[in-house]
């Protein structure tokens, strides 16, 4: 059976695949499906060549509050064991780290808005970051993250002052990557997220809403361009284009 589809796992009704991600997928014409994990059982992984897991409100250890996390963790393990490609954003990144033995928990400060991150030495030679600049802007929406030290076999691919582990990968498998940032989201997504999670986002983050939205509009074109390159790289590594 030829697998050429992507399964995208969504955790919350209002936090779906971001505008940059949707436009990038349309551009390369790779078929995809969304699994609404909080609403319906996860589908079989069999038809899919890659698994993309988005961000959301749950923490990796909240299986009692969010029972679907048990099945999702099993699906991520199946993805890794079967040799399929995996890309995790935010919570998807944290779930990957958790499954691979990393410590995941609260960061010293919630990270909301835009920061500048940079690729590490390993990140600069990783195929998923091919043709991206060493320093680039990150859109952040999280209070937890992957903590150091990483277990053997993993490497930090990108870092920033806001989070030591902005991206991680497997030393022996470039098809598996997690990124803490949400660069798949565009300015419209930023406004939607702020509308639905304003109290949480603003509490302790030091963010001013109008400035955040203005910055999102300012960053939109350049971030979209870099994200399309990033996703193109991932799909190439996954063997989908």
Residue 66: burial class (beta carbons within 10 Å; 0-12, 13-18, 19+): middle
- Strands annotated E in the chain: 5-10, 32-36, 48-53, 85-89, 103-119, 135-147, 154-159, 167-170, 173-179
pLDDT in tens, 110-151: 999 999 999 999 999 999 999 999 999 999 999 999 999 999
pTM, two decimal places: 0.97
Average pLDDT on 68-78 reads: 98
134, 215 in Cβ contact below 8 A?
no
pLDDT in the model for residue 2:
57
Round the average pLDDT of the chain to a whole number and report it.
Answer: 97
pLDDT in tens, 142-181: 999 999 999 999 999 999 999 999 999 999 999 999 999 9
- Domain segments of the chain as ranges: 5-238
pLDDT in tens, 175-217: 999 999 999 999 999 999 999 999 999 998 999 999 999 999 9
Q: Give 180's DSSP letter.
A: S
Residue 57 in 3-state DSSP?
A: coil
Strands 85-89 and 48-53: parallel
Other beta carbons within 10 Å of 85: 24
What CATH fold (topology level) applies to the domain 5-238? Rossmann fold (3.40.50)
pLDDT in the model for residue 4:
86
Percent of the chain with pLDDT over 70: 99
pLDDT in the model for residue 178:
98
Average pLDDT on 13-38 reads: 96
């Amino acid at each position: 059976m030829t697998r050429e589809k992507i399964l995208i796992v969504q955790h919350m009704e209002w936090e779906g695949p971001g505008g940059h991600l949707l436009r990038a997928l349309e551009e390369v014409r790779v078929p995809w499906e969304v699994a609404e994990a909080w609403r319906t059982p996860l589908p079989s992984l069999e038809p899919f060549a890659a698994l993309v897991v988005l961000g959301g409100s749950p923490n990796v250890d909240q299986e009692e509050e969010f029972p679907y996390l048990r099945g999702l963790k099993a699906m991520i393990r199946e993805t890794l064991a079967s040799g399929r490609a995996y890309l995790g954003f935010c919570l998807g990144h944290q779930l990957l780290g958790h499954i691979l033995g990393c410590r995941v928990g609260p960061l010293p400060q919630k990270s909301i808005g835009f920061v500048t991150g940079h690729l590490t030495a390993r990140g600069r030679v990783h195929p998923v970051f091919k043709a991206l600049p060493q320093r680039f802007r990150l859109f952040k929406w999280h209070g937890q993250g992957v903590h150091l030290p990483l277990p053997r076999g993993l490497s930090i691919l990108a870092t920033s002052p806001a989070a030591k582990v902005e991206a991680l990968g497997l030393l022996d498998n470039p098809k598996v990557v997690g990124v803490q940032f949400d660069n798949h989201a565009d300015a419209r997504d930023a406004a939607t997220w702020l509308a639905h999670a304003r109290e949480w986002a603003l509490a302790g983050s030091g963010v001013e809403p109008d400035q955040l939205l203005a910055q999102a509009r300012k960053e939109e074109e350049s971030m979209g361009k870099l994200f399309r390159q990033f996703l193109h790289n991932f799909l190439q590594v996954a063997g989908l284009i």
